[in-house]
Amino acid sequence: MTNPSRHVVITGGGSGVGAAIAECFSQAGFQVSIIGRRKEPLEKMGKKIGAAYAVADVTDRAAVDGALEDLRAKNGPVTIAIANAGAAVSKPFAVMSQADISSMLDVNVTGVFNIWQACLADMMQENWGRMLAVASTASLKGYPYVSGYCAAKHGVLGLTRAVSLELAKKNITANAVCPGFVETPMLEASVVNIIEKTGMSRQSAEDGLKAGNPMKRFIQPHEVADTLLWLASAGAASVNGQAISVNGGEV
């Protein structure tokens, strides 16, 4: 077998966990491409690590296809697709609208489907591939006030498990990583939301979120990135359809 392309595409690669993943794969010598909706963070990250970037909303399949056309022209066929883009909206179940839950499913599930399926032909052609998703502890257990997010992140695992079985004979694996609370802009928004809604101090808000992690700390973005790098390695060739916890043993 010839060596497969080492082109990795990371959605949401301009900030937070996605930026750490982009940096980690770049340092490991991969051709890195990043996708997101805002050009500015993508451009900044692209310059910092020498990555290609394209602006696209992962919920829009035509936009994802267009972005991949540009990125393939720069970095070749995509053999590693990391679906990291995601969003979390906090609202009590009693007052959630259909639009609220649809928006959670769109970005967190359909977004994963779009990038994975759009990269499938490249992986089949290269006879090698890694479909990876940044899921969550919210894929493995429930949390109050984020039922839409939990439903969507559980859905990511269902998708991962089914796809892993369909592609197992093609040298293509599908796996998900399930982090606890990671120190990123998304977490900062949650902390601010708790402070505003409850009037508690920042310290109490952060301690409350850390309480679920037996290590009593936030996960660092590079810890998620390092796990994905391992899943993309030759050594993880038989790891398929798994939900890998990166959460201090919370679940």
- How many CA within 13 A on the CB side of residue 129? 28
Closest contact distance (angstroms) between CB of 223 and ligand NAP is 11
Name which of 126 and 246 has its Cβ closer to ligand NAP. 246
Name which of 22 and 172 has its Cβ closer to ligand NAP. 22
Task: State the DSSP H helix or E strand holding residue 171, giving kind and residue range, or none if neither.
Answer: none
Name which of 61 and 171 has its Cβ closer to ligand NAP. 61
145 Ramachandran zone, left/alpha/beta (phi>0; psi -120 to 50):
left
Closest contact distance (angstroms) between CB of 158 and ligand NAP is 16
Name which of 5 and 184 has its Cβ closer to ligand NAP. 184
Exposed, middle or buried: residue 49 (CB in 10 Å: 0-12, 13-18, 19+)? middle
Closest contact distance (angstroms) between CB of 123 and ligand NAP is 21
Closest contact distance (angstroms) between CB of 125 and ligand NAP is 25
Is 130 in contact with 79 (CB distance < 8 Å)? yes
Q: What are phi and psi of 91, to 5 degrees?
A: -160, 140
What is the contact surface with ligand NAP in residues (CB under 6 A)? 11-12, 14-18, 36-38, 57-59, 84-88, 107, 111, 134, 136, 179, 181-182, 184-187
Query: Residue 249 CB: number of other CB atoms within 10 A?
Result: 9
Q: How far is CA 179 from the centre of its chain?
A: 10
Closest contact distance (angstroms) between CB of 26 and ligand NAP is 16
Whole-number Å distance between alpha carbons of 39 and 18: 14
Is 149 in contact with 169 (CB distance < 8 Å)? no
Q: What are phi and psi of 238, to 5 degrees?
A: -95, 0
Name which of 85 and 123 has its Cβ closer to ligand NAP. 85
Closest contact distance (angstroms) between CB of 186 and ligand NAP is 3
Name which of 15 and 240 has its Cβ closer to ligand NAP. 15
